[in-house]
A = this chain, B = another copy of it.
Amino acid sequence: MHYCGGVDEVESRAERKERTRRAILDAALELAAESSLGVVSLRQVAKAVGIVPTAFYRHFDSVDSLGLALVDESFVSLRAMLREARRPESFDGFIDVADHSVDVLADHVRRHEAHFAFIARERVAGPKVVRDAIRREIELCEHELATDLARLPGARHWSTEDLNVLSSLIVSAMVTTAEALIEAGPRQGERVAAAARTQLRMVLVGALNWRSAADREDVAGRR
């Protein structure tokens, strides 16, 4: 493997294989979009790609491993979003950070709609192996968010427990928002985004007034 054809337009064997692999992933993602991954068959994917069913095994050794590959790919998108949403310069006001985060979310959801929809769906439906893989990744995201929240000014008097609870709330709200953004077309998208901004502001305001308010209201016998 030193030199392969001077002509520009030819495709090397590895490139060709990668192209087919991508086509399989894309086709599976699209087919899973109606109902769930559990109902897409190896043969449907093969037909959509334009290869014979048995050729599928040259790229994945089972439908499950295809699902896991889709999980990996989808969380690459999600991690990219989290990284951007946590850019330090965005932490100059609590309302601002909420609005900025929602904007980043809405932007990424629009650009990677299929991946977000996949995660939201297969997290609860879908083959068991896929469900478990997604759950692990989400827990990882929650944990990362919690450590980041701890660095926020004003997070001084939150317990570790409260931090985890808060980050769990935010992540689930974001997942729900992503779902809502996908359901609503680009037509109602801005309405959903506005609602999400309000929700996140509410959560942050609630978190800021949290400890003091709990003390004030007297939680009594509980805990």
Interfacial residues, chain A to chain B (CB-CB below 8 A): 34-36, 38-39, 93-95, 99, 120-122, 124-128, 135, 162, 164-166, 168-169, 172-173, 175-176, 179, 183, 194-195, 197-199, 201-210, 213-214, 217, 219, 222-223
A and B contact pairs by CB, cutoff 8 A, 8 listed:
A36-B38, A39-B39, A125-B125, A169-B199, A172-B176, A201-B214, A202-B203, A205-B205
B202 near A207 with CB under 8 A, answer: yes
- CB of A91, distance to nearest CB on chain B (Å): 14
Contact status B204-A36, CB under 8 Å = no
Chain B proximity of A68: nearest CB distance (Å): 15
Contact: B126 with A35, CB < 8 Å?
yes
Q: Is the CB of B36 within 8 A of A125?
A: yes
Contact of A204 among B93, B95, B206, B208 (CB under 8 A): B206
B contact residues around A127 at 8 Å (CB): 35
Do A202 and B198 touch (CB < 8 A)? no
On chain B, the residues within 8 Å of A173 by CB distance are: 169, 172-173
Verify B203–A203 contact, CB threshold 8 A.
yes
Complex CA distance for A176 and B203, rounded to whole angstroms: 16
Residues of B near A168 (CB, < 8 A) are: 195, 199
Across the interface, A35 reaches (CB within 8 A) one of B38, B166, B183, B204, namely: B38
For residue A149, give the distance in angstroms from its CB to the closest CB of chain B.
13
Contact A217 to B125, CB < 8 A, known contacts A39-B38, A202-B207, A203-B202: no
Q: How far is the CA of A169 from the CA of B170 in the complex (A)?
A: 11
By a CB distance below 8 angstroms, the chain B residues around A222 are 99, 197
Contact of A125 among B121, B176, B223 (CB under 8 A): B121
Closest chain-B Cβ to A98's Cβ sits at a distance in Å of: 10
| Residue numbers in B under 8 Å from A219 (CB-CB) | 95
Determine if B201 and A203 form an interchain contact, defined as CB atoms under 8 angstroms apart: no
Query: Which residues on the B side are within 8 Å of A176 (C-beta)?
Result: 172, 175-176
A35-B125, A205-B206, A206-B206 are known; give 4 further A-B pairs, CB within 8 A: A168-B195, A173-B173, A203-B203, A205-B214
